[in-house]
Homo-oligomer: A and B are copies of this chain.
Amino acid sequence: MVVERLPLYLRAISNLTKQGREVISSQDLGAELHTTPAQIRKDLSYFGRFGKQGRGYHAGRLLEELRHILQLDRTWNVTLVGVGRLGKAIISYPGFAPQGFRIVAAFDADSRQVGQLVGGLTVQPMSELERAVREKDVSIAIVAVPATQAQAVIQDLVKLGIRAILNYAPVTPRVPDSVRVKAIDPVLTLQSITYYLRPDGASLAGEEEQDERTPV
């Protein structure tokens, strides 16, 4: 939970730095990110003491510290499996590289995709996956295949020693505890957002149980 917020802090600090700020208070960060200063201080203090009382945090220093904590002070080689529409959009997305994530190989089971040049990468057949993972020191995979193939693909990736998976397929794959899986699924996200879209904002929970829940 804390860890999920650090990248947010990273981004905010980076923004403020670009605006010329050299010292940043938890107040500033809170304003930028729409949270409370206390939350931010608590989070940061969990990893060390980076600030100066009465002053705030030195932006550059804090940036470095957070990068180090998140292991972002290196580059990560990423492989992509599934080069359909979504996969192509992912390869072409210019946002990964500046943050140190390099997509170094792309694979697809569909022979019609194989050989194609997408965003500077030649799409390879699945049979080449093992070699690429081994030779290019890949520990993160992005999975953008149809739901039906996702579990099988992920199983393969795990077998090859992949340690983290960004999963765009609408499935909840079974993986060993040592492997980190994060899902990105816009449909699931929308499906939970609609819960809050009631005309009045009234809660539904307990609606009809109101009576039965009163203690006897």
Contact = CB atoms under 8 A, between A and B. Distances in A.
Q: A6, A88, A163, A195 — which one has the most chain B CB atoms within 10 A of its CB? A: A195
A216 interface: no
Given A3-B195, A69-B204, A164-B196, A93 B99 contact: no
A85 B92 contact: yes
Contact of A191 (B7, B33, B178, B184): B7
| Copies of this protein chain in the complex | 2
A200 to B, nearest CB: 11
Main secondary structure of the interface of A (DSSP, over half): mixed
Contacts of A76: 190, 194
Contacts of A190: 76, 78, 96, 99, 101, 140, 164, 166
Interface stretch (A8-16, A107-115, A128-136): A8-16
A51 to B, nearest CB: 14
B197 A71 contact: yes
Nearest to A11: B170
A48 to B, nearest CB: 7
Contact of A194 (B71, B95, B207): B71
Q: Which of the four size classes fits the interface of chain A?
A: 35 or more
Nearest to A172: B33
A189 interface: yes
A196 B186 CA distance: 24
Contact of A193 (B33, B86, B180): B180
A184 to B, nearest CB: 6
14 contacts: A4-B192, A6-B195, A7-B187, A47-B205, A70-B191, A71-B195, A85-B88, A95-B186, A96-B190, A99-B187, A142-B186, A164-B194, A164-B196, A180-B196
